[in-house]
Structure 1
Amino acid sequence: MRTDRKLVVLLTALGLALAGCSSEPPEPDTVADRFTEALDSDDIGAAAALTDDPARARDTLGSLYDGLGREATFEVADVRDDTFTLDVTWKFGPDGRREWKYTTTGTAGETADGWKVHWNPATVAPGLDTGPLSYAPVYPQPARVLDAAGGELMTEQVVTLVQLAPGADTAEAAGLLATFAPGITTASLDADLTAAQGKPVTAISLREADIAPIRDALSATRGVTLAPQTRLLTTDKAMSAPTLSGLSELWQQQADDAAGWAVRAQTADGTTRIAGADPRPTADIRSTIDVGLQRAAKTALDPITTPAAIVAIRPSTGAILAVGQNAAADTEGPIALTGLYPPGSTFKTVTAAAVLDAGRATPDTVLPCPGVADIEGRRIPNDDSFDLGQVPLHTAFARSCNTTMAGLAVGLPPEALKNTAERLGLGVDYVTPGLTTVTGSVPVARTPAERVEASIGQGQVTASPFGMALVAASVAHGSTPAPVVAGGSPGRPDRTPPPLPASVTGDLKTMMRETISAGTATQLADIPGLLGKTGTAEYGDNSKAHGWFIGIQDDLAFAVFIADAGSSGPAVDAAGRMLRAPR
C-alpha cells in the first residue's frame, strides 16, 4: 500500500509538471485568437460571445459591419500577459483599392464563464467608442465636360426625383407633371403604383429650372416626396447624342479615380472624421464635339420617322465632331456607333479602291455598264435597270453602276475587299476613351459569287454609320485617323493596316466629286467642294432597303444612314439639311 501511495503522488507530480510544459497557449492568447478569428470570419455572434458584454458587443459590431462593409482582415500581432494587439486592414470601394490600416490594443480576463475579451469598442476600431462608424468616398470639386470650342457641354447639376407612395394623389401629381411629360397621366401613375406592389415609384426627374415653379405644390401633394440628387447633365436641355453617355462614363471614371475617402463616427454633436484620404483635383474634359454641327445633324434627322443616324469626323485629327440620331433610332440604342447594316453602294468606295490598287483599271478605263448582268450565277441589276453602255470607270462609279463593280470584283483575289476595307478603317475596331464603337465586318470573299455580293455592299458585308464615316475620313486624309472624342485620348486600333497609295485615294476623291456634280447626288451640287457616294442596301427578303450617303467637305467627313428609306434619296437630303444649316 505504501508503494502504491508513493506511485500516486509521483504520477500526480509528473502530471502537474507535464501540464506546466504543455504546448497549449495561455488563456489570453487563446481567447484573443478566437475573438480575432470570429471577426475575420464576419461571425458577429461568435465574436460577441467571447466578450464580457455580448449584447453591447453584438449591437456595436453589427453597426460596424453595416457602416464599413465586410472586407476586413484582423490579426493578432502580440500578446503580453492579459493585453493583446490587433493589426487590422479594411478595404473599401468596388475594387478594394482604398485601405484603412490601424493597430489597436485590448485586454482579456478570467470570468465565471472562463476567459473573455473585455469589451471596449476601441479594441475593434479607433473611434468606435465615440459612435457608429461609416465609410464614404469623398469626391473632388466636379469637373466639367467642355465642347470643342471650350464651352460647357455638361456640368454636375441638381435634379429632383418626384416619388409617389401608395395612396398618393395621382390626379394632382399628374396635373403638375404633364407639362414636362405629356405621357404622365393619372392612369399611368396608378398603373405604375399597382405594378410596384406597395413600393414607391419615381414618376420623373426634373432639373432645377423645371421643378422650381411647382416645387411647393408638389411638396403639398399627398403621397409625393421630392428627392434631390446631383447628376452630370448637358447645359443645353435639348442637346442629345450617343456620345454623351460615353463622356459621362469617362467623367465618372475620372472622378472615381481621384476620389478620396473618409471613415466618420456619428456622435451626439454630428460626425467626426476618424480616418481617410483627401481627393485629388480633376481637370475638365475637353471633348471634340462641335455643338453647332451636333445640333445641325440632329435637326437634319428630326423629320425622319424610321431610325436614322449621322456621324461626322474631322479627317485630319480623327475628332468626333457630331453623332446625331432621331427619336426612332434612340429606342434601338446607339446605332450610329454600333449598329451594323449592309452598306450598299457606299461600299463601292472600297471596291473601287481595291480595283485601282490592284491595277485592274484606272478611272478612265472604259467598261460595260449594262442594266442587268448575270455574274457567277447572281443576277445583278442596276437601280431601275438603267443601262449606260460603255463608260469610263469614274462615270460608272458616280452613277453607281452595280453591274460594272460586280464584274470587276470577280477578278480580285479573295482577300482583296477585306484588306482594302481595313486600310480604310472598316473592320478595324478601336478602344477609345469615352467612345464605344464597332466599325463593321468584311469577311474574305472566297468565291467569285461572294465577291459579286460584297462588291456592292451586300452579302455578308456590314458597317456601322461610324464605320462608313471612318471610310470617308480615311479617303479624305489618305490614311485612317484614330478616332477621338476626349482631347488627347485617341483610340487604339486592334490592327494597323498600311494606308492606300496616295494615287488611289486621290482618284477616289475625284470620282466622289463626280457623284455630286454629275452622278447620283446632284441635289447637293450647290454645296461647295462636296464629295460623296450614295448607297441603297437591300436586306431581308430584298423587298426593303436602307439608304446611305457618305461625304467629304474640306476637313469634314460624314456618313448618313436611314433605315427602311427605300433608296439613298432621303439620306442625301438629310446630308443637305445638315450641311446647309447655319452653325
Structure 2
Amino acid sequence: MVFSSLRSRVAAATVVSGALVLASCGVFSDPTVSGSQRMLADFGAALDAQDAARAAALTSAPGQAAPTIAATLSGMHAESVSVRVTKPVEYSDGTADYGLDYTWDLGDGRSYSTSTTGTARKLSSGWRIQWDPTVLAPGLQNGGSLRLVRTDATPAPAVLDTARKPWMTPQGLTDVVFDPTATGDRASSIRRLAAVIAPIAPLITAPVITQRVAASGGKPTTVVALRDSDMQVLDGNPASVPGVSVNRTMALLTTDRRISSPLAESTAAYWQALRDATSGWAVQRVGADGGITRLAGQQGPPAPSFSTTISQPVQLTVNASVVDVAQPATMLVLDAASGAIVAAANNDAADAAGADLDNLVTPGSTLDPVLGAISATTGDDRGAGEKALHTLGLGVDYTVPGVTAATTNRAAISAAGLDSAPQVSALSMGALGVAIARMAGVAPTFVRGTTTTVRGGDLGPVDQALGARIAAAMRTTATTGDASDLTGAPDLRALVGTNGPQGPGWFVGITRGQVIVVHCAGEKSGSAALQVVQKYLRQR
C-alpha cells in the first residue's frame, strides 16, 4: 500500500486519462502518446495479425509468453482481434499500469469480449509488458489458452428405419494407425499388429498391411477402424505395438454391424448437416492441467430426429446378394407403389471403383424396348418423345435428401437424344421401374417428410398405350427372354441388357411390390446381374 501511494504521487506528466484504441492511425506520431502506449499499440497490432512471436517479443518473458499466445490465437480461430487500452498511466520510475479490452471477432456474427489489467516496465530493450498470462484473459495460466469450440445440443437426432426402429446411432470409433517411421523393425510390428486385430479383422493380414503402407508411400496409414465392441475382442492392445497409435472419435454407425450400404454414408452426411445447422459455440479457458472453464457462447436447439424408408431385413438380403460376383455390382430396391428406397448395396469391387447410386453410365440395349415403345406412340414428334421419356423418370436429375447431394442437370437429353438412349443411373432406372408399376412417374425418396428435387424435366402420368407396350415387353423378357431362367418371381416383369461384352450389364425388374435394379460392370456383366437377382429372389 505504501508503494502504491508513492507511485500515485510521482506520476509523470505523460499520464493520459480515458482510453486509447490501438487501431488508431495516428498512434505512432501523436506526441501526447507515451512510449508504453506505443508498445501496447504494437502488441495489439501483433495479435490482430495473428503473429504470436511478434507479440511475445514485446513481453518481459518471450519464451514463456509465446506458447500461450500461439495456443490462444490458433485456438480462437478469430477473423480479427481488436485491442483497446483503458486507463493508461506511465510513471517516472519506468513502470506503467494499463487496462486492455479485447474483442475477438469469431465470424458468423459471433464475438467474445473480455477485459484485463497489467503492468509494463521500461527495460534496456525498451518498454515491455510484464508477462503474466492474465494479460490475455482473466484467470489464464502459463500452459493454458483460450479456444473456440463447436458445441452440439443433446440428445443427438435419432435415425430410424422404415419400422421406426434405430438404424444408425452415434458410436465410439477407434482408428488404428501404423507409422512405419516410428518403429525400428517394421516387419515385426506389422506381424504383431495383424495378430492383435485378427479376431475382428482376419482379412487384414500382415501382407495386406504391408501393401497398404507401401501404397501410402510410407506415411502413417489407418489400418482398421474399430467399434467399441470390437475393441473388447482384440488379442491385445494395438497401441502396445511399436509404430502403432490409436485415435478415438465418434461416428454415426449402423446398429447392425452386418449392414453395409451407400445409404449409410449418405445418411451420415445428412445427419451431420442437421447437426451443423443447429450447432452452437463456446469460448473456453483451458487450464495448464487440462481443466476447462466455459466463458461465453450460445447453443442451438437439438436437431430433429428422422425416419428413413430403409428396411433392415431387406438390406441384409441385398448385402448378401451382391457379394457372389467378382466384378463391381450395385443393387437398389424400391417400393413399387411409392418410389421409396428400401435398400441399396455395393460389393467391394463396386466400392473400390467409386460406384454411386447417381453415377451416369450407358444402358446399352436395356432401354431398347422403352425407346421403341416411345417411338411407336409418339412418332416423329421429338418434343412428345422427350416428354414421354421424362414421365418415365429418365433423362432427369434427382437430388434425394439422405441419398444424393445437389447436382447440376447432367442427365437431361437434347431433342436429338431420342436417337439413342440417355445415360442412366441406378436411381433413374429405379424411377423407370416405379413409373411402369404405377403408370405414373414419381421421384425416389428416402428420408420421410422430405421432397426430392427433380431437374431437367417433369415426371407425371404415363401414357396408357406407352405404358402397356413397355409392360408387355418386360413381361416377355421375364417369361421367354433373357430373364426367363430366373425363379421365385412368377409375376416378374423385367428389362435386361448390356453394352457389349465388357458391359455394363443392367437388370430392372418389378415383382411382388418391389422394383429391383442391378448394375454390373466388366466382362459377362449381364450374366452377373442375373446371378445377383437370382440370389436375392431365393433369399427373399
Q: Same fold (TM over 0.5)?
A: yes
Aligned to 1:208: 228
Pair 25,348 (structure 1): closer, same or farther in 2 beyond 3 Å: farther
Q: Alignment partner of 1:210: what SS?
A: helix
CA-CA distance at 1:569 after TM superposition: 5.2
Deviation at 1:317, TM superposition (A): 3.4
Is the 1:307–1:327 Cα contact (8 Å) retained in structure 2?
yes
Q: 1:146 aligns with which of 139, 147, 160?
A: 160
Answer yes or no: is 1:243 the counterpart of 2:263: yes
Amino acid at match of 1:37: A
SS of match in other structure, 2:47: helix
Where do 1:89-488 residues align within 5 Å?
Answer: 89-91=104-106, 96-97=107-108, 99-106=110-117, 111=122, 117=129, 119-129=131-141, 131-139=144-152, 140-164=154-178, 165-167=182-184, 169-189=189-209, 201-216=221-236, 218=238, 221-262=241-282, 263-268=284-289, 270-278=291-299, 280-356=301-377, 358=378, 360=379, 412-436=380-404, 441=411, 443-444=413-414, 446=416, 454=420, 457=421, 461-488=422-449
Size of the aligned set, in residue pairs, is 491
> In structure 2, what is the Cα distance between the partners aligned to 1:315 and 1:254?
29
- In structure 1, distance between residues paired with 2:218 and 2:484: 62
Q: Give the drift of 1:222.
A: 5.0
Q: What SS is found at the alignment partner of 2:443?
A: coil
The 2-side partners of 1:567 and 1:219 are apart by 44
In 1, the alpha carbon distance for the partners of 2:118 and 2:223 equals 55
**SS of residue in 2 equivalent to 1:344:** coil
Residue from 530, 543, 548 that aligns with 2:492 = 530
Structure 1 stretch displaced more, 205-214 or 24-33: 24-33
SS in 2 for 1:321: strand
* CA shift in 2, pair 1:445/1:497, >3 Å: closer
Conserved? CA contact 2:360–2:411, under 8 Å: no
Q: Is the aligned partner of 1:548 residue 2:506?
A: yes
**3-state DSSP class of the match of 2:162?**
coil
Give the CA deviation at 1:510. Answer: 4.3
1:59 & 1:225 partners in 2: Cα distance? 26
Deviation at 1:273, TM superposition (A): 2.5
Q: CA deviation at 1:423?
A: 2.6
CA positional deviation for 1:40: 0.7
Answer 1 or 2: which has greater helix percent. 1
Q: Answer yes or no: is the 8 Å Cα contact 1:147–1:289 preserved in 2.
A: yes
**What letter matches 1:250 in structure 2?**
Y
Gaps of 5+ in 1: 1-21, 361-411
Alpha-carbon distance between aligned partners in 1 of 2:103 and 2:450, rounded to the nearest angstrom:
40
Cα offsets for 1:277-303 (capped at 9, x unmatched): 346323333221122222222323322
**Within 2, Cα distance between the matches of 1:267 and 1:521?**
70
Which protein is bigger by CA-based radius of gyration?
1
Q: Retained in 2: the 8 A contact 1:77–1:84?
A: yes
- Residue type of the alignment partner of 1:444: S
- Give distance in 1, aligned partners of 2:220 and 2:483: 55
Structure-1 separation of matches of 2:459 and 2:222: 53
Please list the CA deviations of residues 83-105 of structure 1 after superposition, one character each: whole Å capped at 9, or x if unmatched.
455341242xxxx4483411324
Deviations 1:166-219, CA, capped at 9 Å, x for gaps: 135333332333444445444554566677788654432323333323353646
AA aligned opposite 2:515? A
Which residue of structure 2 lines up, in the alignment, with residue 26 of structure 1?
A: 33
CA distance in structure 2 between the partners assigned to 1:163 and 1:66 by the alignment: 26
Alpha-carbon offset, residue 247 of structure 1: 0.8
Distance in 2, matches of 1:531 and 1:354, equals: 21
Q: Aligned residue for 2:94?
A: none
Matched AA of 2:414: V
The change in CA–CA distance for 1:71 and 1:330 in structure 2 (over 3 A counts) is same
2:532 aligns with: 574
Kindly tell me: are residues 277 and 304 of structure 1, through their superposed partners in 2, closer, same or farther at Cα, counting changes over 3 Å? same
RMSD of aligned residue pairs (Cα, Å) = 3.6
Match of 1:494 in 2: 455
Whether the 8 Å CA contact 1:440–1:467 is kept in 2: the answer is no
Q: Give unmatched runs, 5+ long, in structure 2.
A: 1-28, 90-96
Query: TM-score, normalising length from structure 2?
Result: 0.78
Q: CA–CA distance in 2 between the matches of 1:445 and 1:281? A: 48
Q: 1:474 to 1:111 in 2, by over 3 A?
A: same
Name the SS of the counterpart of 2:450 in structure 1. coil
Give distance in 2, aligned partners of 1:138 and 1:577. 46
Q: Deviations over 1:410-462 (max 9, x none)?
A: xx24455444322322221122322227897464364xxx855x1xx4xxx32
How far 1:24 sits from its partner (Å)? 4.6
Q: What is the CA-CA distance between 1:497 and the residue it aligns to? A: 1.8
